[in-house]
Chains A and B, each alone.
Chain A
Amino acid sequence: MQDAPSTVHPPAANADAALLRRMAAGDESALGALYDRWSPLVHSVVMRIAGDPDDAEELVEETFLQAWRQAGSYQDSRGGVATWLAVMARSRSLDRVRLAGHRRAAAAEPLEAAEGTGALDPSPLDAAEVAETRQVVRAALDRLPADQRETLEMAYYRGMSQSEIAAATGQPLGTVKTRCRLGLQKLREALSVLGDGR
């Protein structure tokens, strides 16, 4: 795989990186700009997991405060700032849901795979390359067999372990492992097309 040199990133990613540098220097207006760009995405992630608008509001706030505190230690990667934020949002949301001791019904909503691409994008705020990544991920998920997609979904969005997934679906553990690997591998291939295309 290619190491992403900085030239890979279009101006939007550079804009994000610049915002993080200003945040690290204590400029909270940069945090405001980051929030304006990415809060729709972060909110979508936390709603997907926590399901409750009040919880979601707090989780969005915590996620951006964490970004504020850790802006100085951000390491650029192919996923960029959007993925960095989304991963923090997921992790905090799963912690919250686990703390609450139960998984909420709202989390049963499926990933947006089969609904076509882009129609529900908060696109005005999505940087172009993230919109592209979203389309690729959704298209890849769309092509996955339903059982592989569900396995990834249960692990990633509901924080379930493989044995929990096996118990919940009534499938043997080995089947769950295979589905998880195959699903992730296909996702990776789809994304590598995106990466190599640049």
Chain B
Amino acid sequence: MTDEPMHPELRDALAAEAVDALDGEERERLLAHLAGCEPCRAELAALRESAAALALAAPARPMEPARAGRLRDRLLARAAAGRPAASADGDDVTLVAPPASDASAGPGDDVTMIAPPPSEPPARAADDVAAIVRPPSEPSATPADDITAIAPPPSVTANPQVIPITAARRRSTLVPWLAAAASLVLLLAAAAYAASLRGRLRSLEEQVAAAERERGELARRMREREATLAAISAPSARVIEMAAAQPAAPSGRMFWDPATNRWTFFAHNLPAVRAGREYQLWLVTADDRKISAGTFRPDPSGHAVVQATYALPADALAAVAVTEEPAGGLPQPSGPIIIAGAASTE
């Protein structure tokens, strides 16, 4: 029933591409072919549509109701904040007010958004900043425009010379004066408003910058953690437990991934070292070579993390140990063993 592709020899490759499983070079060849072959493109589209049905076969996993409700609220709030039509250009004053609240929500959003790859929100924050930033770039224009819009009578204020002539009709001469006074009040109010907007703008810009810095810092920390996690949770990772050789109960744990040669060492309850001394981490091989994996000092609460890269055959490790040595370490251990652990063979 299914349409035969124009190039039957590509059927395997098309099927693989439809589930995004085609490997590099073969994929490039296929893509090059597809560029000039409409029947194969159509075939791929049909296969992709079939593959998409696989998504529907995921086992049903309902969300907890509380979680689902919370997420719904957040989703709608974010959608409302990011509504594309909201930022029409033009009226600066009304433009400033809504994005101001929007932007103060924005940085908060971004902080909670750190965990997912921040695809959209930063762009949105940047848009908002641009929208807010615009007015001060033309500071004199905006208030002036507003005044002419709100209070047309500047021409009236230009009429004081007329007063003596119309002195008999006092009541009506009052009108231009009142209008002038009113426009002065409006002018002052507009100036004060502009000043307060500038102040608010500055503080928002500072908030955005601070949030941006915090986001960068959190993203950096997350990358570090993910690297650590990847090193210790790899399928090939091995774990060597180390027990205390002293009554103070320091302990450590080494994660070794022979596939990537990554060593990640965590220690706890290590006593502080004296000035001029450091702890040194050793990999002890089956033929009793002692390889330094670096020196370190624990933090004030006795914790330490050491990461190292060193290639060692998977069966060559006999033990891991920590000794206390002169600062900078020695080529061979000389001090007392603080903690040590034998590498179990799996």
Check if A13 is an interface residue, CB within 8 A of chain B. Answer: no
**Cβ contact within 8 Å between B55 and A90:** yes
Given known A-B contacts A60-B71, A61-B74, A122-B62, A83 and B55 have beta carbons under 8 A apart: yes
Check if A143 is an interface residue, CB within 8 A of chain B. Answer: no
Residues 9-23 of B, flagged 1 when their CB comes within 8 A of A and 0 if not, give 001110110111111
Q: Which of B75-83, B197-205, B282-290 contacts A (4 or more CB under 8 A)?
A: B75-83
Nearest A residue to B232 via CB reads A102
Q: Which of B111-119, B173-181, B312-320 contacts A (4 or more CB under 8 A)?
A: B111-119
CB distance from B185 to the nearest CB of A (A): 38
**Cβ contact within 8 Å between A1 and B46:** yes
Residues 162-181 of A, flagged 1 when their CB comes within 8 A of B and 0 if not, give 11010000000000011011
Residues in A whose Cβ lies below 8 Å from that of B19: 152, 155-156, 180, 184
**Cβ contact within 8 Å between B53 and A44:** no
Nearest B residue to A138 via CB reads B57
Tell me which of B58, B67, B84 contacts A48 (CB under 8 A): B58
Total residues of chain B contacting the partner, CB 8 A = 58
**Cβ contact within 8 Å between B233 and A102:** yes
Given known A-B contacts A28-B83, A65-B79, A90-B55, A100 and B1 have beta carbons under 8 A apart: no
Q: Is the interface of A mostly helix, strand, loop or mixed?
A: helix
CB distance from A134 to the nearest CB of B (A): 5
Residues in B whose Cβ lies below 8 Å from that of A10: none
Bound-state Cα–Cα, A165 to B84, Å: 42
**Cβ contact within 8 Å between A187 and B116:** no
Q: Number of contacts between A and B (CB, 8 Å)? A: 204
Residues in A whose Cβ lies below 8 Å from that of B28: none
**Cβ contact within 8 Å between A48 and B51:** no
Q: Is the interface of B mostly helix, strand, loop or mixed?
A: helix
Tell me which of A39, A44, A61, A160 contacts B58 (CB under 8 A): A44
Nearest B residue to A91 via CB reads B20
Tell me which of A28, A86, A122, A192 contacts B60 (CB under 8 A): A122
**Cβ contact within 8 Å between A96 and B116:** yes
Nearest B residue to A100 via CB reads B226
Check if B150 is an interface residue, CB within 8 A of chain A. Answer: no
**Cβ contact within 8 Å between B117 and A47:** no
Pick from B1, B46, B63 the residue with the most CB of A within 10 Å.
B63
Residues in B whose Cβ lies below 8 Å from that of A29: 76
Residues in A whose Cβ lies below 8 Å from that of B55: 45, 83, 86-87, 89-90, 156
Check if A58 is an interface residue, CB within 8 A of chain B. Answer: yes
**Cβ contact within 8 Å between A61 and B75:** yes
Residues in A whose Cβ lies below 8 Å from that of B60: 40, 44, 112, 120-122
Check if A26 is an interface residue, CB within 8 A of chain B. Answer: yes
**Cβ contact within 8 Å between A59 and B15:** no
Tell me which of A61, A79, A99, A160 contacts B52 (CB under 8 A): A79
**Cβ contact within 8 Å between B57 and A137:** yes
Interface members, chain B 1-46 (any A CB < 8 Å): 1-3, 11-13, 15-16, 18-23, 46
Residues in B whose Cβ lies below 8 Å from that of A19: none
Check if B275 is an interface residue, CB within 8 A of chain A. Answer: no
Residues in B whose Cβ lies below 8 Å from that of A121: 60
Residues in B whose Cβ lies below 8 Å from that of A165: 21
Bound-state Cα–Cα, A181 to B21, Å: 11
Nearest B residue to A113 via CB reads B57
**Cβ contact within 8 Å between A187 and B54:** yes
Residues in A whose Cβ lies below 8 Å from that of B116: 58-59, 61-62, 96
Interface members, chain B 250-306 (any A CB < 8 Å): none
Tell me which of A28, A43, A156 contacts B61 (CB under 8 A): A43
A: residues with CB less than 8 A from B are: 1, 25-26, 28-29, 31-32, 35-36, 39-41, 43-45, 47-48, 53-62, 64-65, 68-69, 77-79, 82-83, 86-87, 89-90, 95-96, 99-102, 109, 111-113, 115, 120-122, 130, 133-134, 136-138, 141, 152, 155-157, 159-163, 165, 177-178, 180-181, 184-185, 187-189, 191-192
16 CB contacts below 8 A, A to B, read A32-B72, A65-B120, A83-B49, A96-B117, A100-B229, A102-B229, A102-B234, A155-B21, A162-B22, A177-B13, A180-B12, A180-B15, A180-B16, A187-B50, A188-B46, A192-B2
Known: A45-B55, A99-B226. 4 other contacts (CB 8 A): A57-B63, A58-B115, A68-B79, A102-B234
Closest 7 CB pairs of A and B: A86-B55, A155-B21, A101-B230, A188-B50, A181-B15, A120-B60, A112-B59
